[in-house]
Structure 1
């Protein structure tokens, strides 16, 4: 039997789809015949990125790529905001989602242990952790309304290599990622047979990494490219997008951490 394209004719919502890894996942999904709904914090940027994605695949109808703003940093309103975008993405439950991907994150601020406060320790959980919690809540509250209750459906969250192998100064960052990984396993049990996984990217060339390069300088960055992975370079957004695609395509994978890190776990400190 010919192998099917399991992303063709699916409907995928991507939190964080306006930039970086999320944008790459959106492009990959479109290239495989999916309908993609991207989300970001500001509607003008969402609209611009919808147009950019459409320009990459000019033969696709406009209805195949959509976008809505959703402010995930509004903690008081995050529950209602997520319900609102789920309603929009599914046209009030009439067009269910096959997959939801969460790659969104706010500007990474890692205080030293000496500078930790209750406020900045908790801040890192807001977008990265609470979004997954609230998406899980709404999938569980209205089974089948937003997503078919089936192993062909999936929710994919995002952590990072520092949750397992933290660099110096990454105590808080490691805890944020580890919380997301624990959440993904819990949701895999509570939402079954819907599949839930987490992708743990290594150093991926995104706008966030570009800011890091500017901070440390190109010479230091080049050294880190060579010595930070077994393949001698940082990953591309296209590389990492394939990890999310696996999580969507493999209907027998759930509750696992999917890694795309160039072998960083086998390197030195």
Structure 2
């Protein structure tokens, strides 16, 4: 039997799909013949990126790319906002999603241990932990995703959870909570598969902001400190990790790294 690409003719929903890793996942999925829906915090930017994706694949029906905004920072209305989004994405459950990649995140809160408050310690959990937790609740109903090993929900953590830099205590704690959520959901949502990808230093728009205020010497030090390859990863590199998880019906409850060997590098030069 000839090999068939398992992403072809599937429906992929990407949270955080307007930039960085999320946009690269959407681009990759379209290339392999999937129907793609992206979500971001603002509808104007979502619409712009939908049109850009359509322009990259002019022979693909325009209906194969869609996008809807959702405010994941609105904690009081988070479940309502996510349910509304999933209803739009799936046409009320008639056209379910096969795969969800969750790459959304707001600006990281990095309070120092000596200065942390209850509010600053908890702030970073809203988008990165609470939002995927509520998505999982909605998926558990069976209304939005087929309850099958062909289906997947992939979260995003970070290698700094395992090798935190100075003053990254609370960011590392958020990442650890996402990893625990992943393992628990893999059990509770079975046979839907749940995994988490741990990016290293990926050259996204957000990361470029750090480079813009760094000297060439500092950038060279970051490359050495963040990777055995003396380089930063590209979003299109790590997008393949999400693709593998979507395709592999036996990948479940796992932590997948794409970090250039980041976990084998010390943190001393990064403080």
TM-score (norm 1): 0.97
Matches within 5 A, 1:160-171: 160-171=158-169
2:95 aligned with 1:95: yes
Measure the CA separation in 2 of the matches of 1:60 and 1:226. 41
Matches within 5 A, 1:1-269: 1-140=1-140, 142-143=141-142, 145-269=143-267
Deviation at 1:165, TM superposition (A): 1.2
Per-residue CA deviations over 1:88-140 (Å, capped at 9, x if unaligned) read: 11000100110011000001231111121111110000000011100111111
Measure the CA separation in 1 of the matches of 2:102 and 2:159. 17
Measure the CA separation in 2 of the matches of 1:227 and 1:200. 17
Deviation at 1:6, TM superposition (A): 0.4
Deviation at 1:217, TM superposition (A): 3.0
Measure the CA separation in 1 of the matches of 2:84 and 2:40. 13
Per-residue CA deviations over 1:48-75 (Å, capped at 9, x if unaligned) read: 0000111111111100100001000101
Measure the CA separation in 2 of the matches of 1:248 and 1:125. 25
Deviation at 1:158, TM superposition (A): 0.3
Deviation at 1:226, TM superposition (A): 3.1
Measure the CA separation in 1 of the matches of 2:216 and 2:3. 44
Bigger drift between 234-243 and 218-227 goes to 218-227
Aligned-residue CA RMSD in angstroms? 0.9
TM-score (norm 2): 0.96
Deviation at 1:257, TM superposition (A): 0.5
Measure the CA separation in 1 of the matches of 2:29 and 2:176. 27
> Is the partner of 1:66 in helix, strand or coil?
strand
Maintained 8 Å contact 2:41/2:69: yes
Maintained 8 Å contact 2:13/2:38: yes
> Is the partner of 1:114 in helix, strand or coil?
coil
Q: Which runs of 5+ in 1 are unaligned?
A: none
Maintained 8 Å contact 2:109/2:123: no
